[in-house]
Structure 1
Amino acid sequence: MSSIAHIRKLDGQVQPLPIHLKETQKIAEDIGRKLGIPHITGLAALLHDMGKYSDEFQDYIKEAYENPSQPPKRGSVNHSTAGGRFLMVHYHAKMKPLVECVANVIYGHHGQLLDMVNMEGESPFANRQTPKKPIDFAVIEERFFSEVCTREELEAYIAQAYQEFMAFIKPYQQKTMQTMMTVLNGLTAQSERVAYQQKMKLAIYEAPRPAITLLTKMVFSALIDADRTNSRNFDEQVNDEVSPPATTELYHQFLQRLEGQLVDIQQKAPANDITKLRQQMSDNCLDKATLPTGIYTLSIPTGGGKTLASLRFALKHALEHGKERIIYIVPYTTIIEQNAQEVRKILQVDKYVLEHHSNVLEEATVDEDKPLSYDELEKRRKLANAKDNWDIPIVFTTMVQYLDTFYSGKSRNERRLHNLSNAIVIFDEVQSVPITCVSLFNQTLNFLSKSCHTTILLCTATQPALEYVKHGIAVDGELIDNLPAIASAFKRTKLVPLIKKEGWFTADIRQFVQDKLDSVQNILIILNNKRVVKALYEELKGDGIYHLSTGMCVAHRKEILREIRCKLKAKKRVVCISTQLMEAGVDISFQCVIRSLAGLDSIAQAAGRCNRHGEVALREVYLINHAEESLKWLMTIDKGKDCTNLLLRDVAEDDTRYGGDLLAAQAMTYYFRLFYEHLAGMLNYPLKGISLSMYDILFTQNSVLWKEFNGDFWLKASFKTAAQHFEVIEANTQTVLVPYGKGRDLITQLLAGDRITDLSFFLKQLQQYSVNVFKYELNALCENGLIDIFDFGFTKVYIAKDTAYDDAYGLSVEGEAAMANLLM
């Protein structure tokens, strides 16, 4: 009888180990084929459970099934060392980088990738080869070769994997050599040429290092998805045939529906120059869809139809180049919900569009008396799988989810990484990349475009000039022709700096707003922190005056925005005082905008909420310097403010600078170059307490760490340490449930201990009624008796009392709360 891989709990059916290894290998090969590395991913899958051939594991799995009430401790038998150790013992000397990559993937497939060296100068990777408990590796290998394949067959398979690996790194080496040959040919002195040739040799050797680090993560992703897919199919008795998703016919249908909708939109739109320019830009995107795989910018001005233009490009580009999915990366959940709904409506689909973010509500479990049909169960199973691995034609997710997929180290995130290959990834409002993640983000773009056959589209009216930083990107082109002329035609606002030496106080702003209301019906005021927003609201409070900030829960903010839209439509007086959450992705238009001095990109986004639909020829956006704002804890806003000040001084001295328009692309590029220069020390994700960055320990040789360890390894990445330090948003906030609207009933249900039939759905609902606060704010709430703490054993829940939450401005805590609840 073959050795056992799994035993199904339902009926005791055995999955033989050779079957599991070969089926997992086939799935992994199909995944790897997209990247031209089927034998590399297949090798990891073929050897990943080699250790299950030990007597100890076979006894362990039988005992776990036969004694379900008292099973042996999970993971007590090591089965994930044997495959990696086999490669290291027999092949490391011949093909170091490949073997280290695949061995680490096998070692970590039930957890995470290991450090090649850690902060203590030790190598968990090296230590893994000598387990604490003795393992009879000779017996394991003998059984593997008798049941799975012969040594000769495996030898030939590894040789093919090595050929794929060498082909994978060749372009990186060639590009480095070509660049350095230009310099070498310019040297005349023999001594200089000899010295430079030595430098070239080292540079060519090092060139593929960042790509191999991410290749290791990609192989890890392929193995995890293949292993879990095969195990789940066996457990659920599903016979899914693994094949490339049949997206071609779907994309044909989607493009036809989109073209029909665009004709409809065009016919209903006013026959003016703006309508013609929108159509022209959309046509540009369709025409450019034949461009090869690469990194492109889409710099459509605010209100230019960016979402549908990018979708038009993506659908046609997918058909032209056989791309398997379209993935939208959006900074805020509010924009995701808005854009995903628009795409669903236009394409007339639901099941082929996935939203993956913290605020999405999953459908509740139906009543037990009304069982689901087979088709409905199958639909839900496939949707659940898609949430695990993004295997669905169109995905909407956040920047946090995207970066976590590469760097969090959590297998549930990294499992979906391989589905970013052979895809189109569209970044909406790309300037919102967190400053500490800029270099890490750029590295993902370079890897996807160069090695994974993925096209990147960077969408924003305020392009962040990512090509100008040290670890930058190479942009292959802009999709919009004659962009300066189009930007000029779309200009609907005039920036009016009103900078005072002593600054603007709250009372000054109140008076300015009251004076402006004599000539306009509605005004949007965006300030930099909650404290001053609340103070101005208190000064102006009355009918038609609204407050918006992150002190409000998601449901509350949605309700306020609904009221504002209704009043604007009815042409009633509206004054909205908000933090920067109103800047991006909120499709709303005011006659006047007042913006507290900040980064130029923030100012441009704020201007996008003024005269948004070109109601009149030109409206004013007033720029003020608030005297009472504290930016002590908002360093990026403070630095952005400094850089904007420099540009304002330039324009004050010469009003023709930057083409005479501070919001033009020329000014924005200069602003971002200044901004990144000011914050150069933060771009590589510096690690607290040590003099290294996350970029250092993942993508460079890292001699600081390796001088303490003399292991003969090529791969230098500290995978686990990097993952332990990585947070897109610093987790220094605490979630507090608030008694707003339906939140009161949900909190009552939680505290009553009633049976909750669908806990996942219930918790997702609660997220709509929560606010994230800093620790000092939480302490203040506790000290003032405004919060109750309930210990549920596995977690503590913080619940604000009724007196702590105000229907006008949310949680009554002074200070600046993080935007984490918007970004997850």
Structure 2
Amino acid sequence: MVVQRAVAALKGVLPSPVDRLVAHSPGHQGTWHWYEDHARGTAELASRFAEPWGGGDLAYRLGRDHDTGKGACAWQEGLIEEATTGRKIRRPPHNNAGTLLFARTAERVPALLPCAGVIEGHHTGLSAWSEVRLRLKSLMIDSSEVDEAIHRVAMVMPEVLDGSCPTVPNWLDPRDTAAVEMLVRMTYSAVIDADRLDTAAHFRPGTHIRPHVGMHELWERYEARRQGAIVERQRSKGASWLDKLRENVYQEALEAAAGKPGVYRLHLPTGAGKTFTGGGFALRHASLHGLRRVIVAVPFISITEQNAAEYRSLLDPEQGPPVVLEHHSAVNVEAPQSPGTSTNARHGQKRGQPNRWAKLATENWDAPFIVTTTVRLIETIFGNTPWATRRLHRLANSVIVLDEVQALPDGLLTPILSGLRELVEHYGVTLVLSSATQPELAALNPWRSGLPQRDVVAAPAPLFEQLRRVRYEWRTGPDVTLTSIAAEAADHDQVLVVVNGTKDANRIHRAWIGTNHEENPGILHLSTRMTGGHRRETIQAAKQRLGEGMGTFLVSTSLIEAGVNLDFPRGYRAKSTPESEQQAAGRINREGKRPVKDSVMTVFDPQDGLKPEMVYNTCAIAAASRRFGDGLADPDDLDALRSYYQHRYRLQAGQHSKDPNGATGEVIEALRAKLHYPEVARRMRMIDNEHSLAVVVIRPRLEEEARQAVQKAVDQLRHGLPTPATYRALQEHMASIPKRELELAINAGHAIEITGDLHQWVGSYHPQRGIEPPA
């Protein structure tokens, strides 16, 4: 037999008794990963992960049996020959045996049967239940292809044939398809993460699970450092009425944190200290209720960069591993196909094919405080691939702060709200909805009944009046253009202009510079075409110049509208939605040091600019046009905002939509009820990679040490040996461009593949504007 020959060749080097099964090759350590060790190790870890929602027994069973198919002689022989000869051996699929084994025991509880999909898709992703059911039906009729594997595994692990049915979580209603759908997702996540961690521990011995950090300890550290920062701020700048208002708001939030877990609304005007208040509430609430972690999700990468830096200063220890994880990497290491059709000849794999180390290194959110993007959070909840879903179980017994919640896309609201409700009701999640323009989410079907929402700050309306710091003007007509606004704005010493797209921002910046192509340090530009590090430097330069009273002209896309602490005396905002206009106004007279009458935000409608209908929800624009504008309400009017949101949702939801199936994601919710995981994942993409892709840029102006660090991370990805730190090292060196533009750049030699759908930009990079849009 091949097994005997292989064993003979390995004698004296690698012990491999004939009566034992192996799960993984020796790797660099020279030690086989025995099957029973991997099966039991995965099962125990998965059970631990799933225990918070009563799914420990179910996850243990799925983890124990997930690799049953590896017991087949053909699979064992292939692995041993591959390890012995170094040649790549094609082995048979190993998911069917465990899928059938689990289904046989779960037949008595039909609600558990879809969990067989956890084993079926533990490498490839969750399949549609209808497809898994057909495969199971075929296996039930003729199980000959998997009987051998089950029998051989039973020889080393007799318990796989005990026939008992796993315990069902006591809250599960078999008739509730949303509950069944989420249970499969959460259990899949627990098993996938356990499998990957146990495998990683074999190939890379050492601690792969971070030591636990108690929320009470983090809360005390946060509070002590926050108070120290306040004392330092007041020492250098003096106390102000705004500091006192923020402190009162913060203390009220801490009192509200004692409330029981559930859904909370943090409705505060811009400048009221929402970031620190939200973090303080979350940590205090987690400490009081024994929750495991805090996840802060924000809509823009620029906010994660700033918020993560602030939270690190308050939470990371002076020595030892950090506790704040920033995760917004746009890398998809398992992209099915990236632009272009060439192959990576050096590594012998097609573009976009995953590699083992890239999958093992994917972030699994094993940290007590996480700052991520809303895109990553929604991908985690509704994805179906192992790399996206393995971190989902980390949300159980956590506080999720949805910052700038108004930025959730209307077209996905029904499934998002339904999924979040499941997490709150069955997985111990406390959800904090944070925004200065709080949407009326209770008007939508998933939250219309039975899900109370509490206010962190009981009476926000007076705060909005106290913190009214701007007056609005409206500029429309045929003479209003990007050029005319650029010229008007240039008459001020310090001004912010916010536009609807990167091309418009580029035009404003060029108009300010004029024919003088030399850099002017006072003329600044912000967009996603710049890397994260470049944006951070630009924001810091603007902040410093504003503080020193120097001339500052900044044009930006909407990424500046949330979480960027800049204080301009004058602003212009291209026509958009009222929540976006209010957010932009939050960068004007932010500290309240100027009279309101002199702090003007002009909302303009440029004839030659990108129209809001091309960027924003058309129903939102329609609802806004009736309420906001010259002679109507301004975006700070809370009653008008409330009416606007209700009207906006009525225009879209269910029978009121032009789409007979609804325009807030009702079709996706129906797919969830059918357990069609791949199609749900496809439709839930908040950023469609058909339109926007990330690229790594090694900027010419980086210092040599930084350039070498980025190049090292790129090389690690390219050679298939990344770690989670690799992705974090690249985050501030990523910019974003449209897919079509990237395809043209690849053909022109301006971009080269790294891995998956991630490329390195090697074309020109403007020192102020980043990657220029095509002429």
TM-score by length of 1: 0.76
Residue of structure 2 in register with 1:341 after alignment: 309
Residue of structure 2 in register with 1:84 after alignment: 99
**Which residue, 456, 466, 483 being the options, matches 2:460?**
483
Counterpart amino acid of 1:405?
Answer: T
C-alpha contact (below 8 Å) 2:96/2:146 kept by paired residues: no
**Which residue, 669, 682, 687 being the options, matches 1:729?**
687
Q: Secondary structure at the match of 1:477?
A: strand
CA distance in 2, matches of 1:11, 1:808: 48
Q: Secondary structure at the match of 2:200?
A: helix
Q: Percent identity?
A: 23
Residues 148-227 of structure 1 correspond to what in structure 2 (within 5 A)? 148-150=157-159, 153-155=162-164, 158=165, 161-162=167-168, 164=169, 167-170=170-173, 206=175, 208-227=176-195
C-alpha contact (below 8 Å) 1:266/1:275 kept by paired residues: no
**Which residue, 107, 112, 125 being the options, matches 2:125?**
112
Counterpart amino acid of 1:631?
Answer: K
- Per-residue deviation, 1:579: 2.3
Residues 2-81 of structure 1 correspond to what in structure 2 (within 5 A)? 2-10=20-28, 12-67=30-85, 69-73=86-90, 76-81=91-96
1:601/1:814 Cα in 2 relative to 1: closer, same or farther (>3 Å)?
farther
Counterpart amino acid of 1:525?
Answer: V
Counterpart amino acid of 2:701?
Answer: K
C-alpha contact (below 8 Å) 1:115/1:718 kept by paired residues: yes
1:285/1:262 Cα in 2 relative to 1: closer, same or farther (>3 Å)?
farther
Residues 323-722 of structure 1 correspond to what in structure 2 (within 5 A)? 323-349=291-317, 351-358=322-329, 388-472=363-447, 474-498=451-475, 500-502=476-478, 504-510=480-486, 512-513=488-489, 517=492, 521-541=493-513, 544-618=522-596, 619-631=599-611, 634-636=614-616, 639-648=619-628, 652=631, 662-680=635-653, 699-700=669-670, 716-722=674-680
CA distance in 2, matches of 1:694, 1:639: 11
- Per-residue deviation, 1:135: 3.8
Counterpart amino acid of 2:388?
Answer: N
1:141/1:812 Cα in 2 relative to 1: closer, same or farther (>3 Å)?
closer
- Say whether 1:127 aligns with 2:135: yes
C-alpha contact (below 8 Å) 1:439/1:695 kept by paired residues: yes
Cα-Cα RMSD = 4.1
CA distance in 2, matches of 1:45, 1:791: 35
- Say whether 1:742 aligns with 2:760: no
C-alpha contact (below 8 Å) 1:294/1:454 kept by paired residues: yes
- Per-residue deviation, 1:328: 1.2
Q: Secondary structure at the match of 2:645?
A: helix
C-alpha contact (below 8 Å) 1:756/1:762 kept by paired residues: no
- Per-residue deviation, 1:465: 2.0
Counterpart amino acid of 1:741?
Answer: P
Q: Secondary structure at the match of 2:167?
A: helix
Q: Secondary structure at the match of 1:168?
A: coil
- Per-residue deviation, 1:794: 8.5
CA distance in 2, matches of 1:720, 1:678: 29
1:696/1:213 Cα in 2 relative to 1: closer, same or farther (>3 Å)?
farther
Residue of structure 1 in register with 2:277 after alignment: 309
C-alpha contact (below 8 Å) 2:481/2:609 kept by paired residues: no
C-alpha contact (below 8 Å) 1:52/1:58 kept by paired residues: yes
1:535/1:251 Cα in 2 relative to 1: closer, same or farther (>3 Å)?
closer
CA distance in 2, matches of 1:540, 1:635: 25
CA distance in 2, matches of 1:701, 1:283: 44
Residues 213-362 of structure 1 correspond to what in structure 2 (within 5 A)? 213-238=181-206, 245-248=212-215, 250-251=217-218, 253-255=220-222, 257-258=224-225, 260-261=227-228, 264=231, 268=235, 270-349=238-317, 351-358=322-329
Counterpart amino acid of 1:148?
Answer: M
Equivalenced residues, count: 708
Stretches of structure 2 lacking an aligned partner (at least 5 in a row): 1-18, 332-358, 515-519
Residue of structure 2 in register with 1:379 after alignment: none
| 1:15-73 Cα shifts (integer Å, max 9, x gaps) | 44333322322212211111112111112112212233333333333323323x22421
Residue of structure 1 in register with 2:736 after alignment: 772
Counterpart amino acid of 2:324?
Answer: V
Counterpart amino acid of 2:443?
Answer: Y
| 1:539-597 Cα shifts (integer Å, max 9, x gaps) | 44376443433444444434433332232122122222322222122111100111121
1:549/1:77 Cα in 2 relative to 1: closer, same or farther (>3 Å)?
closer
CA distance in 2, matches of 1:452, 1:479: 21
Counterpart amino acid of 2:327?
Answer: H
Counterpart amino acid of 1:671?
Answer: Y
1:577/1:51 Cα in 2 relative to 1: closer, same or farther (>3 Å)?
closer
C-alpha contact (below 8 Å) 2:424/2:430 kept by paired residues: yes
1:695/1:683 Cα in 2 relative to 1: closer, same or farther (>3 Å)?
farther
Counterpart amino acid of 1:168?
Answer: W
- Per-residue deviation, 1:422: 0.6
- Per-residue deviation, 1:668: 2.2
CA distance in 1, matches of 2:620, 2:471: 20
C-alpha contact (below 8 Å) 2:330/2:694 kept by paired residues: no
Stretches of structure 1 lacking an aligned partner (at least 5 in a row): 118-122, 171-204, 361-383, 656-660, 703-714, 816-824
1:143/1:554 Cα in 2 relative to 1: closer, same or farther (>3 Å)?
closer
CA distance in 1, matches of 2:418, 2:177: 11
TM-score by length of 2: 0.81
CA distance in 2, matches of 1:328, 1:796: 25
Counterpart amino acid of 2:218?
Answer: Y
Residue of structure 2 in register with 1:95 after alignment: 109
C-alpha contact (below 8 Å) 1:298/1:460 kept by paired residues: yes
CA distance in 1, matches of 2:207, 2:593: 58
1:394/1:641 Cα in 2 relative to 1: closer, same or farther (>3 Å)?
same
| 1:458-517 Cα shifts (integer Å, max 9, x gaps) | 11111122222233474521101221112211111122334x3546234543454355x3
CA distance in 2, matches of 1:434, 1:682: 19
CA distance in 2, matches of 1:55, 1:8: 18
| 1:735-763 Cα shifts (integer Å, max 9, x gaps) | 5677853379899999x999957866898
| 1:167-192 Cα shifts (integer Å, max 9, x gaps) | 2224xxxxxxxxxxxxxxxxxxxxxx
1:603/1:104 Cα in 2 relative to 1: closer, same or farther (>3 Å)?
same
Residue of structure 2 in register with 1:181 after alignment: none
Q: Secondary structure at the match of 2:291?
A: coil
Worse-matched range after superposition: 141-150 or 20-29: 141-150
- Per-residue deviation, 1:291: 0.9
CA distance in 2, matches of 1:390, 1:793: 22
- Per-residue deviation, 1:433: 1.8
